[in-house]
Structure formats: C-alpha cells, structure tokens
Amino acid sequence: MSEERDQRECVLLAAFEGWNDACQAATNVVRHLVSRYESREIRHISCDGYYDYQVSRPMLCRVTGRPRIIWPQTTFYEITLPTGRRLYAQIAPEPNYRWREYCRQSLHIADELDVDRIVTLGSMFADCPHTRPLPVDVSHDLDEAGRSCDCGANDDEGGYSGPVGIPTVLDDMAREQSFATTSLWASIPQYSGNDDCPQATLNLLRRLGRELGLGFDEGDLEARANEWNAKVTMLLRCSDQLADYVHHLEREWDRAQEARRAASENPRQAEQLVRETEDFLRNL
C-alpha cells in the first residue's frame, strides 16, 4: 500500500471480547490505543436483543457513590493520532444472538463514518512456545492466497475450515458490501494461562502498524511483555513435564523455520526437510 493511499484510507478496527479474544490480547490493542491517544466515543450499539445476560452479565458500578448498572454494549471510538490521521475503533463483547443483524448495524455505522477498510483483531490459544516470537496471522479480503504469517507460525496451505466467531462474519459481510478487509490474529501458548498476554498485544499492535504504515506509541507494553515472558518461564521450572512439552514445541518451531528458509533458497532441500519434520512428529 502506498504512503499516499495510507493517508487517504479511513480504517475501522474491530475487536470483540470472548471466544475470539484469548487473554484479552485483541481488545487490549483497542484499549491501548484509546488510552495513549486523544479519543472520544462517537457511536454505540444498544445491547437489547444481542446478548444473553447470563453469559454477558451487566456490571454494578458506583458513580459518585451511587450504584449504577452498566449493560454490555458496543462502543465506537474516534482516535486521533499526533500526525492528525484518524482511526475508528469498535469494541464489544461478542454478541450471543442475531449476528447478521448486528454486523449490518456495524457496517451501517462504518458507512456513515466513510470507512474504506475494516481491520478485525483476534487472539487464540495455539501450540506455540513462548520462547519464540508469538505468531501473528494476517489475511486480506478473506483471500486465503493472500494469507501471510509473522513469527514462524505454521500456515496450512489449505486454509482454515471450522467454527468462526463474529470477526470472521463481520469480515465476510464487509467484503460483500465492498469494504476492504484485513484480519489479524495473534497466537498465544495454551499453557500460559488466561491472564492478560501483553506480548501478544504488542505483536498485534506492531503488525497493525506495519499494515497501516504507522508507528504506534507502545507505552509500557514491551516492559510488561518481558514480565509476562519471565512469569511463563518460571512455570517451566516448576514442571518437568511442561518443560519437555515446550522443548518439543521449540524443536517443531525451529524445524518449520528451517524449512521456510530452505524453501526460499532450495525447493528440493525444503521437500526433504518437510519429510524429516513429518517423520519427527510421527515418532514423538
């Protein structure tokens, strides 16, 4: 994408709490941007008809000492960067009901804001080691041929098939309405627990910046990511079984990286490495 197009393009980021948001890594990208830059709420989608309140429960808060019920809702932000460029961001719990109607309402707001591109953010648990760069998977316009992967993630040439969440549905409906779409998904080690994963948030933020041709203020994310890595490493010292599992993931990751390097240099050698990797995995 050219720098001139970067300046013209109006982008809406979308992230949803729940199934699509392991360790809150995706929604924390939006929260980070809202906290680091001049931001204001500009639109909302009412919760009525979209949520099961036994799943997405209302919250009791106190405002100036008085109790107030906060219902789940969708909030749209306008984020103004120091360069003067504006981004829009949508954040919400994943709806329980009427996904198509919810997406139509979201896209109607995007159209009102003159949005050109919708970027959905997600995070998922995966078999990846925390001792290697956490993968960020990127796809454009739901085109599997255009899918790319950062940080050595395993990429299935056939593309993903299976259950999807609201980001994928929003992508699909946006494409049908002629919006450009980009999807960014971070992978998080499944053994690391459910606490926030600032490393995945940082990787998503950096990849988002490269996709948009922007350099974002990272704040304390790198320091928090280092703390997260140290904490997860400590878990390995408490469990030999977990340490062995992570060493297995490291070997698999390193073999995949070696195969990619060989593929770019020598296709015949790459085929041999793929066979060796398959034999290695079968014999585990």
Over residues 159-217, the pLDDT tens digits come to 667 889 999 999 999 999 999 999 999 999 999 999 999 999 999 999 999 999 999 99
Please report the pLDDT score of residue 4 as a whole number.
41
Give the span between the Cα atoms of 59 and 62, in whole angstroms.
Answer: 10
CB-side neighbour CA atoms (13 Å) of 149? 17
Give the span between the Cα atoms of 225 and 127, in whole angstroms.
Answer: 19
186 near 203, Cβ under 8 Å? yes
CATH 3.40.50.10900 fits 3-219, yes or no: yes
- Joined tokens for residue 90: 């949508």
* 185-219: burial string, b at 16+ Cβ within 10 Å, e else: bbbbbebbeeeebbbbbbbbbbbbeebbeeebebe
Higher pLDDT, 260 or 239: 239
Convert the pLDDT of each residue in 45-68 to its tens digit: 988 899 998 888 888 988 788 898
Mean pLDDT for the chain?
A: 87
pLDDT at 12 over 80: yes
pLDDT band for 30, please (50, 70, 90 cuts).
very high
259 near 272, Cβ under 8 Å? no
Please report the pLDDT score of residue 145 as a whole number.
39
Give the span between the Cα atoms of 75 and 81, in whole angstroms.
Answer: 19
Task: Find tokens 């606490």 and name the residue.
Answer: 195
What would the mean pLDDT of 234-249 be, rounded to a whole number? Answer: 92
> So where are the chain's domains?
3-219, 239-282
Give the span between the Cα atoms of 72 and 52, in whole angstroms.
Answer: 10
Give the span between the Cα atoms of 186 and 167, in whole angstroms.
Answer: 13
pLDDT at 91 over 80: yes
C-alpha distances in Å from residue 187, one per residue of 49, 50, 88, 149, 203: 32, 28, 24, 11, 10
Give the span between the Cα atoms of 134 and 187, in whole angstroms.
Answer: 6
Give the span between the Cα atoms of 16 and 5, in whole angstroms.
Answer: 27
Pairing of strands 117-126, 180-189: parallel
